[in-house]
Chain A
Amino acid sequence: MGNHVEVKASGLDVTEAVNVTETNIDLSADAVVIGSGAGGAIAAYELAKTGKKVIVLEAGRYVPSEKMTEMTAVSLGTMYADKAGQANAQGDITILQGACVGGSTVVNAALCFRTPDYYLKLWGEKFGLTNLTTEVMTPYFEKVEKNIWIKENTEAETSQGAELIKEGLDATGIPIGVAKRNVKNCALTGFCFAGCKAERKQSMLVTYLPWAQAYGAEIYADTRVNTITSEGGRATGITGEIINPDTGEKVADINVKAPIVVLAAGPIQSPIILMKSGLANSSGQVGKNFACHPSLSLTAEYDHAVDDFVGATHSVYVDEFTLPDESGIGGFILLNAIEQPVFAGSSQNPGTGKPYVNLMEKYANTIRLITLLHDKNSGEVIYENGVKSINYTVDDEDFESMKDGLKVNARILLASGASKVYIPTTLSKVIESEAEVDSVIDALTNDKSRYPYVSFHPQGTLRMGADPANTVVNPLGETHDVNNLYVVDGSLLPTSIGYNPSETIFALASYISDQINEAHP
């Protein structure tokens, strides 16, 4: 069979709403995969490779690389969930997720970390995931690292801002973490968040999805799954709708009958699909235990132009303070990032009018260093009366960790030569010397709608574990309640892991795909 398998040179064959002429589509397959991101694409490939007929359903649109604009505002409106307007119920944490064929892997900055041994051990002890040992998972990490080119940045894969931050890290004696990314021949455009037009980022769009198609998988974009169907305690397929993304009008109903259902719609939509289906919630945990790594970006201003406009979007990180302390309180990770004006232009408010104009005139003199909080799983995704809601706020303990992170962040930036560091509150605080760091940041209070938090890492709403009384998914990836219904996305994570979760999802999806293939040869 392998002798006849050929991957398209570029692009995918995708059924989109504009191609659909029927108003009712009935399909059957061996497996239906809901979602085409990090988990769904890997499952689609691994199942299709064994000869299964696989259908992949993606709610977002298909944006082939040649149509990517490298204009962040356009990408936010076409490739992100809710046109990048997804937020917590309070409205003060923007929760960004990809919503396109390839999911968040298309619009993330490709930063990868293996799941820390600390968490694999913790998950074994607290959630009975004794099968997910370092020894078991290491071959899966190695496999995905090889498949999608996860490698440490070369010396050339950096940016002007990252080089300054390295100077600050050297001066403060804080160890430098060099980013590992799933990028092959990085073109250093700095447009990761708008999608990699040059196809250097090894997202699902150019790896596992075309590979799955080489083995016969079919992909439907613009296709929103409403319910998972079941009979006698076994999953039997899905019902859904194909929606024109430009008009919002339904063009067809779609039903897929399949004895294997793989849920990979992401930590916000996956629990909602289960809630709408009335399935897999005997534990009452569907939608609960939401975490999202809220982040705040400090802006450093220098007395000279830095021109931090192009390069590797992420180059350096600091994880010295990431893992929880003795009391179990999580820490933070720092990440440099190239940000375009449309992102950076709204994160700081040094004062209305002239102070803001003055800051943006010096945009070329500024860089940004993100503090990403290792938060608790204290939130909940709910779905009532047709409306989703993400009930989550940064609690007081986590806010203290954020303040610790902001202090380290500010000290690094000042040590790098910054003349000013802007702390993003609704009216930005400005730090001009190391002596001011503690007093300014200690004075911050955990107020709602005070800080422009952005989250890139929702996780944990269908947590995995051995006990059906307090987890949704069993240690092999199948829901406790419904046979042949599997979950392979970030909702699996029993705890927040502090680090970017993409490689954890890649590895878990690979592991669970093996379990599916073993159960369904």
Chain B
Amino acid sequence: MNAREPDIRNVTQRIDKLDRRDFLRMSSMAVGMVAAGLSSLAPTAALAQQVPDGIAHMTPDEYAVWHRLMLALLPTEGSTLVDPETLPVLQTVDGAFLATLPPPVLEGLKGGVAYFNEAAVEPFGKPFVDLTNEEAAQYCDALAASEEVPARALFTALKFLTVTAYWAIPPTWAPTGFQGPVTEAWGIELQGNAPLPTA
């Protein structure tokens, strides 16, 4: 058993009690379907902030959720890993992933992001963007461990997009020891096309 599971059991139980229809809405993003009547984020004081340059497919409120998730997934303080705040992680999510989605799928994703934020109210009494670091980690782990398929699917998809965007940025590699591209660095010559076969 994972060492964190006892800590999140209570949260998991409360999340699993949420209305299944809400989770089905969440699944729309994960399976790429169009969901009708998706909720949108209601502007709040806590979410009122500007979207930085390079973000074209997130509203300021959606950006706040992604930003909070990025910090929850990658708390690099005290580690050797590069602080995600110093990197264009969410610009990469926006440009490399969101920009490529067909409009109906992007709308589904936006609904998923909204619900991801709102669903934290049931177990914590406040939306995801207002959770402490510890609460945010508990919430994410609870979704990951949930018996509800859409809850797992939603969290997994959001996490995948965020951490993949992080590791796609070359400055993140050095602390892991990974050297990046080598062919030019090693002076390897391109071998060219093979000659015609004799067989």
Query: Number of residue pairs across A and B with beta carbons under 8 Å?
Result: 197
Check if B167 sits within 8 Å of A189, measured CB to CB: no
Q: Which residues of A contact B170 (CB under 8 A)?
A: 71
The answer to whether the Cβ of B65 comes within 8 Å of any Cβ in the partner chain is no
Indicate if B192 sits at the interface (CB-CB under 8 A): yes
Judge if B173 is at the interface, Cβ distance under 8 Å: yes
Number of residues on chain B facing chain A (CB within 8 A)? 64
In the complex, are the beta carbons of A10 and B188 less than 8 A apart?
no
Please choose the segment from A52-60, A151-159, A202-210, A229-237 that sits at the chain B interface, where 4 or more of its residues have CB less than 8 A away: A202-210
What residues on A are CB-neighbors of B96 within 8 Å?
73, 77
> Within 8 Å of chain B (Cβ to Cβ): is A18?
no
By a CB distance below 8 angstroms, the chain A residues around B177 are: 305, 307, 309, 363-364
Tell which of B72, B150, B160 has the most Cβ of chain A within 10 Å. B160
Identify the stretch in B35-43, B48-56, B117-125, B179-187 within 8 Å (CB) of chain A at 4 or more residues.
B179-187
| Chain B neighbourhood of A342, CB < 8 A | 164, 167-168
Are A199 and B190 within 8 A (Cβ)? yes
User: Which A residues are CB-close (under 8 A) to B149?
Assistant: 447-449
Write the nearest CB–CB distance from B109 to chain A, whole angstroms: 12
CB distance from B46 to the nearest CB of A (A): 21
Are the C-beta atoms of A353 and B2 separated by less than 8 Å? no
List B contacts of A189 (CB < 8 A): 182-183, 186, 188
Do B182 and A70 touch across chains, with their CB atoms under 8 A apart? yes
Inter-chain CA distance A85–B189, complex, in Å, is: 32
In the complex, what distance in Å separates the CA atom of A401 from the CA atom of B3? 27
The answer to whether B32 touches A207 (Cβ under 8 A) is no
Contacts of B172 in A (CB 8 A): 341
**Does B59 count as interface, using CB distance less than 8 angstroms?**
no
| Interface assignment of A121: CB less than 8 Å from any CB of chain B | no
Interface membership of chain A positions 182-199, coded 1 if the CB is closer than 8 angstroms to chain B and 0 otherwise: 001101011100000111
Q: Is the CB of A309 within 8 A of B179?
A: yes
Bound-state CA distance A198–B141 (Å) is 42
CB nearest neighbor in B for A205: B193
Interface bits A450-465 vs B (CB < 8 Å: 1, else 0): 1010000000000000
Q: Which residues of A lie under 8 Å from residue B5 when comparing CB positions?
A: 427
B110 at the interface (CB under 8 A from A): no
Enumerate chain B residues within 8 angstroms of A329, measured Cβ to Cβ.
Answer: none
Q: Is the CB of A91 within 8 A of B32?
A: yes
A1 within 8 A of B: no
- Say whether B58 faces chain A, with CB atoms less than 8 Å apart: no
Bound complex: CA A357 to CA B83 (Å): 11
Contact yes or no, A206 B175, CB < 8 A: no
Q: For residue A161, give the distance in angstroms from its CB to the closest CB of chain B.
A: 13
Q: Tell yes or no: B47 within 8 A of A by CB.
A: no
Most chain-B CB neighbours within 10 Å: which of A187, A352, A357, A429?
A352
Residue of A nearest to B195 (CB): A7
**Which residues, 66 to 97 on A, are CB-close (under 8 Å) to B?**
66, 69-74, 77, 83, 85, 87, 89-92
Given known contacts A211-B196, A342-B164, A363 and B178 CB-to-CB distance under 8 angstroms: yes
Query: Residue of A at shortest CB range from B7?
Result: A351
Contact with A along B25-37 (1 / 0, CB 8 A): 0000011100000
Task: Decide: B72 and A352 in contact? CB cutoff 8 A.
Answer: yes
Kindly provide the distance from the CB of B176 to the nearest chain A CB, expressed in whole angstroms.
4
B66 CB-CB contact with A under 8 Å: no
Contact of A353 among B80, B137, B153, B173 (CB under 8 A): B137
Cβ contacts under 8 Å, A211 to chain B? 194, 196-197
A358–B3 Cα gap in the complex (Å)? 14
Check B183 against A187 for contact (C-beta < 8 Å). Answer: yes
- The residues of B that contact A197 with a CB separation of less than 8 Å are 181, 183, 190
Residue in chain B with minimal CB distance to A426: B144
A206–B193 alpha-carbon span in the complex (Å): 4
Are A185 and B30 in touch, CB under 8 angstroms? no
B167-A341 in contact (CB<8A): yes
**Lowest 9 A-B CB distances belong to which pairs?**
A73-B168, A70-B181, A364-B177, A363-B176, A352-B140, A449-B153, A426-B144, A345-B167, A353-B137
Known: A341-B173, A349-B159. 10 other contacts (CB 8 A): A70-B180, A90-B31, A91-B153, A147-B197, A187-B188, A206-B191, A307-B177, A353-B140, A356-B74, A427-B141
Residues of A within 8 A of B (CB): 5, 7-11, 65-66, 69-74, 77, 83, 85, 87, 89-92, 142-143, 146-149, 184-185, 187, 189-191, 197-200, 202, 206-207, 210-211, 214, 305, 307, 309-310, 340-342, 345-346, 349-358, 360-361, 363-364, 426-430, 447-450, 452
What are 20 contact pairs spanning A and B, CB under 8 A? A7-B196, A11-B193, A71-B168, A73-B96, A77-B96, A146-B197, A184-B191, A197-B183, A199-B191, A206-B193, A207-B193, A207-B194, A351-B4, A351-B141, A352-B159, A353-B140, A361-B80, A427-B144, A447-B149, A448-B149
* Interface residues in chain B, defined as those with a beta carbon under 8 Å from any beta carbon in chain A: 1-5, 30-32, 72-76, 79-81, 96, 100, 133, 136-137, 140-141, 144-145, 149-150, 152-153, 155-157, 159-160, 163-164, 166-168, 170, 172-173, 175-183, 186, 188-199
